[in-house]
């Protein structure tokens, strides 16, 4: 693997932070490349060196977080739902500004859909319709129900500015998952 120049990483991090900061102030569609450039303290040319446009920047930022959530899922494969969910809620807490922008009203609707698709993929391996409480139910219905409920609760948590600590959220979401999958 090739080593990435620190200046490149610094510029990309500054741009990612700038897009999140600007999204907290205004709608994504109203953000200009010049505003991104000014906020990140980089030239417009630097933005286009790394990204096609602001949509590409946001898409790559979203994809980074989805990939990280997938890695966290794999690392938590041996844990129960509460333990696995705790790992996620710690990640949500650590990346609060990103997730709150993506899941709160000012966020990008694309992220919610991307997050939902990701959860469908992850929960597909967890659902058992041959025995237990879900016996005889349609697998796709269960997966969509659980994934939609999960996204809804996480959205609620961010929209209401963390009304319960992340470990309480993890415990309750994990318990609900255990009961429904």
H helix intervals, the chain:
6-23, 33-40, 44-50, 54-75, 81-94, 96-103, 109-124, 139-159, 166-180
Model confidence over 96-110: pLDDT tens digits?
999 998 987 555 678
5-32 average pLDDT score? 92
Q: Is the pTM of this model over 0.85?
A: yes
End-to-end CA distance of the chain: 39
pLDDT top residue among 92 and 27:
92
* C-alpha of 122 from chain center: 14
- Provide the pLDDT for residue 107: 56
24: three-class secondary structure by DSSP: coil
- Which of these, 115, 155, 124, lies nearest to 142 by C-alpha position? 124
Q: Which residues contact 41 (CB under 8 A, 6 or more apart)?
A: 14
């Amino acid at each position: 693997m090739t080593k990435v120049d620190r200046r490149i990483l610094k510029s990309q991090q500054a741009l990612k932070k700038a897009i999140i900061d600007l999204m907290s102030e205004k709608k994504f569609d109203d953000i200009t490349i010049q505003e991104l450039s000014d906020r990140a303290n980089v030239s417009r040319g630097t933005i286009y060196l790394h990204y096609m446009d602001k949509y590409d920047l946001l898409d790559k930022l979203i994809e980074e977080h989805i990939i990280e959530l997938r890695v966290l899922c794999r690392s938590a494969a041996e844990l129960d739902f509460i333990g696995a969910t705790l790992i996620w809620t710690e990640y949500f807490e650590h990346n609060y500004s990103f997730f709150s922008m993506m899941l709160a009203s000012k966020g990008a609707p694309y992220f919610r859909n991307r997050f939902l698709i990701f959860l469908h993929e992850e929960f597909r391996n967890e659902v058992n319709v041959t025995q237990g409480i879900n016996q005889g139910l349609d697998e796709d219905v269960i997966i969509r129900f659980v994934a939609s409920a999960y996204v809804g609760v996480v959205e609620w948590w961010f929209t209401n500015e963390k009304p319960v600590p992340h470990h309480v959220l993890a415990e309750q979401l994990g318990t609900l998952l255990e009961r429904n999958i």
